[in-house]
Amino acid sequence: MDAGWTQNKHDECGSGQHNCDENAICTNTVQGHSCTCKPGYVGNGTICRAFCEEGCRYGGTCVAPNECVCPSGFTGSHCEKDIDECALRTHTCWNDSACINLAGGFDCLCPSGPSCSGDCPHEGGLKRNGQVWTLKEDRCSVCSCKDGKIFCRRTACDCQNPSADLFCCPECDTRVTSQCLDQNGHKFYRSGDNWTHSCQQCRCLDGEVDCWPLTCPTLSCEYTTILEGECCPRCVSDPCLADNIAYDIRKTCLDSYGLSRLSGSVWTMTGSPCTTCKCKNGTVCCSVDLECLQNN
């Protein structure tokens, strides 16, 4: 510690003289301070974003650890469930028109007859036949009235349109400042793009790269292995192929001399110096060193 240094004099965290994100933990150091994102957040400490393990689907926003704010028409812990406005009777179909549930919205089918008009009642008012509008509570959804039917859909992203809403269509953002360079330094990704790197799912968002571990399915088998080039384990029946064995010393093996070997022990096969054997819970697993064979 430098002479004359005191915690009170250099308490950058306590005095607010730091650049840590509000969701980061500030720690005083001899050099100044360091920032570490709180559990449930990812980033470099000066910028910490909430992390939702399964992501937020259908355009939902991760606002807190594993907490999504869903767009209109969807619900669930990660916005995976479509709201059935027809079953819940929260639709705005008028008179004797029939409500048809759709992903993220609903449609109203007006049967023939004098009781249905071409206009559409909406939020206490009336939308004219052919009128198109954006929902107040969700700028990324558009509704239209046609022949008494209200039809709502997520806004289509036309990246050729210079006036495309980048909030709803981040994949259309071609600004260099919004792009991300991959971890190998070879490829640029646009804001909104996703890719996999070193068994992590990564996303570009306004020039920032966020990565989180891939979620692998839960396996109920005894032996598993991860194949070359893959990230998640898969079941195998042969313990010699498994890489997840918890060695049980009660399950021994007999070597070529008839000696008992504990599970986990390794030895060289008699008469074959290039062959190595290992006891895996009662099963003898042997492999040949090809480089050894070439040199002998």
Query: Global pTM?
Result: 0.35
Give residue 133's domain range: 83-154
How many domains, the chain? 4
Q: Is residue 221 assigned to a domain?
A: no
Whether 147 and 186 share a structural domain: no
Tell me, yes or no, whether 98 and 148 share the same domain. yes
**Whether 130 and 177 share a structural domain:** no
Residues 99 and 150 in one domain: yes
**Domain membership flag for residue 149:** yes
Q: Residue 187 maps to which CATH number?
A: 2.10.70
78 lies in some domain: no
Would you say residue 232 lies in a domain? no
For every one of its 296 residues, what pLDDT tens digit does the chain have, with 9 covering 90 and above? 444 444 445 788 988 888 899 999 999 988 888 999 999 999 888 899 999 988 888 888 898 999 999 988 888 888 988 888 888 888 877 666 778 888 888 887 765 333 456 778 788 788 887 888 888 778 888 899 887 778 888 888 888 888 777 778 877 777 766 778 888 878 888 887 888 888 888 988 878 888 888 888 888 998 999 988 888 999 999 999 998 888 888 899 999 888 999 999 999 998 888 999 999 999 999 999 988 888 87
In a domain, 150, yes or no: yes
21, 47 contact by CB (below 8 A): yes
Check whether residue 88 and residue 149 sit in a common domain. yes
Is residue 204 assigned to a domain? yes
142 and 178 in a single domain? The answer is no
Q: Could you tell me the CA-to-CA distances from 252 to 224, 283, 294 in Å, in that order?
A: 21, 8, 32
Q: Does 186 share its domain with 147?
A: no
**Integer Cα distance of 71 and 105 in angstroms:** 10
Residue 135 in any domain: the answer is yes
Both 198 and 136 in one domain: the answer is no
In a domain, 174, yes or no: yes
